[in-house]
Amino acid sequence: MITDLLIITCVVVWIIDLTDIMETIKKQIWKYVWNGKKEYREYTLKPIDCSLCMTWWTGLIYLIIVGKFNLMMIGLVGLLSYLTPVVRDILILIKDILINSINLIYKILHLE
């Protein structure tokens, strides 16, 4: 259960914060609404472009579906939602560590 919520948090953070899918969607909506008459300007589509909001709502929906909707689990979802900036940084750190490790292997093997 806790693992599932953590995975949901990581997936939501990855999609919303670490890809450009939300920016692409917002630009398409802007283009459709304004029909090219206005230059694109940044705007928000809360809750769908906010990893904190999406983690919160996705986590609550998950708890309802699995039948574990209780105060402790709601608190955990709230904590994971609050920590989405930290999760984002951890995911970036993992990527950077892997890239640097690969580069080090190349240097050791003289493949560069």
Per-residue pLDDT, 112: 60
- pTM comes to 0.85
pLDDT at 40 over 90: no
Q: Which of 1-5, 42-46, 72-76, 92-96 has the lowest mean pLDDT?
A: 42-46
| pLDDT tier for residue 51 given thresholds of 50, 70 and 90 | very high
| Domain segments of the chain as ranges | 2-108
Question: Could you tell me where the DSSP H helices lie in the chain?
Answer: 2-17, 21-34, 51-66, 71-82, 84-108
Backbone angles phi, psi at 52, to 5 degrees: -60, -50
| pLDDT tier for residue 35 given thresholds of 50, 70 and 90 | confident
